[in-house]
Amino acid sequence: MSDSGLKEYIPGKSISEVAKQYGFAAENIIKLGSNENVLGPSPKVKEILLKTLNNAGFNLGYYPDAMSESLIAGIYEQFPEIGSAAVVAGNGMDHILECLGRLLLEPNDKTLIHVPTFDYYEIITRWAKAEPVFFQTHLKDNFKLDLENFLAQITDKIKVVFLCCPNNPTGNILSWLEIEQILIKAEKVGAKVFLDEAYSEFAQKSYIDQVQNFSNLIVGKTFSKVYGLASLRIGWAVLPKQLLENYRKIQTPFNVNSLALLAAKTALEDQEYIQKSLELNLKGKNFLKTELEKLGFNVFESQTNFISFLAPSKDAKGFCLNLLTKGIIARNASLFRGSPDGLVRLTIGTETQNHKVIETIKNLSCK
């Protein structure tokens, strides 16, 4: 395979990387660069994993359930609105995106991607030797999609339209009215619409109920964000029933490990914990936004578990580096394709972490 045009995914920094580089004790590092649940998963997850590992009947030597059946049954039970649409699980939503790239894209096809957004849509497009068409959204419009012009870009060369709602790294959302018009136009040209709902729990708005009504809508979900299971790598998607048979043919066998399946099912059942996480997030987001605005930052509205703002002198790299030297990991979001200079993305932390972040920013020499 020639590597021309391929693009590497650049992840947020890890605690071990920063500990090694700056000599901090791992427990003193505040990791707010990757939008995980800062509380981790429900305590019931650890409990069931330990119990399972200690159970003599459990054997790590066996392959996991190839079709993730018990988790998928749990998902239908928790979200009956999915109705007659199909559900698949994967090794993170990233893995499902890879499978969809294999299933839906051929060389010289095109995909339509609003930017700035999550970089992986471009990456899988390039793997397939297809061509991404980027549609710029602008800071001056608070990154709102210009719907009329976006619709005009959905031509018969486009095979997949990627939508991220709420969007990473801007935090804004699309209305159902907008999504519906995109679906209708895409249907006319034979394109699928992938709606990424990695952060939908924070916006309290999901469109998994619409997949049964649109034969071209696929909704991606993850256990990495509010469910706190990023390290186990597990995601899921709702797809039209007609796609399931072919999806199974291109899916990697045994793509989700047995501990992740068990953890995800358990996490899903503890909705009380999810509510607690959402409340903490909302409180923390209001605090950070208010405090950063008091310090003169331009902070964008966010329907997620992160906020984005412009660094002083539009120097996102320098600002994030300054925070790193104090043990705080934030994301230089100006590196996302189509991002404005200076864009910084910060995950909402615990109350203590948020206070520490604000105190640190107040003391930075660049403020």
| CA–CA dist 312, 336 (Å, integer) | 18
Q: Integer distance in angstroms from the first to the last C-alpha of the chain?
A: 47
- Bridge partners of 111, per DSSP, are 132, 160
Torsion angle (degrees, nearest 10) of CA 131, 136, 137, 139: 130
Judged by CB under 6 A, the stretch of 88-96, 241-249, 253-261, 356-364 that binds ligand PLP is 88-96
Number of residues near ligand PLP (by CB under 6 A): 13
Q: Please give the structure tokens belonging to residue 19.
A: 């500990």
Contact status: 327 vs ligand PLP (CB under 6 A)? no
Shortest-Cβ-distance residue relative to ligand PLP: 92
Q: Name which of 82 and 230 has its Cβ closer to ligand PLP.
A: 230
Q: How far is the CB of 365 from ligand PLP (least distance, A)?
A: 31
Q: What is the DSSP string of 209-274?
A: GGGGG-TTEEEEEESSSTT--GGG--EEEEE-HHHHHHHHHHSPTT-S-HHHHHHHHHHHH-HHHH
Contact status: 41 vs ligand PLP (CB under 6 A)? no
Contact status: 168 vs ligand PLP (CB under 6 A)? yes
| CA–CA dist 161, 114 (Å, integer) | 9
Q: Name which of 162 and 297 has its Cβ closer to ligand PLP.
A: 162
CB-CB contact of 227 with 274 (8 Å): yes
Contact status: 330 vs ligand PLP (CB under 6 A)? no
Judged by CB under 6 A, the stretch of 53-61, 91-99, 253-261, 352-360 that binds ligand PLP is 91-99
* Binding residue for ligand PLP, selected from 18, 35, 182, 261, defined by CB under 6 A: 35
Judged by CB under 6 A, the stretch of 90-98, 208-216, 239-247, 258-266 that binds ligand PLP is 90-98
Q: How far is the CB of 8 from ligand PLP (least distance, A)?
A: 15
| CA–CA dist 189, 187 (Å, integer) | 5
Which residues are at the interface with ligand PLP (CB under 6 A)? 35, 92-94, 118, 164, 168, 196, 198, 222, 224, 230, 235
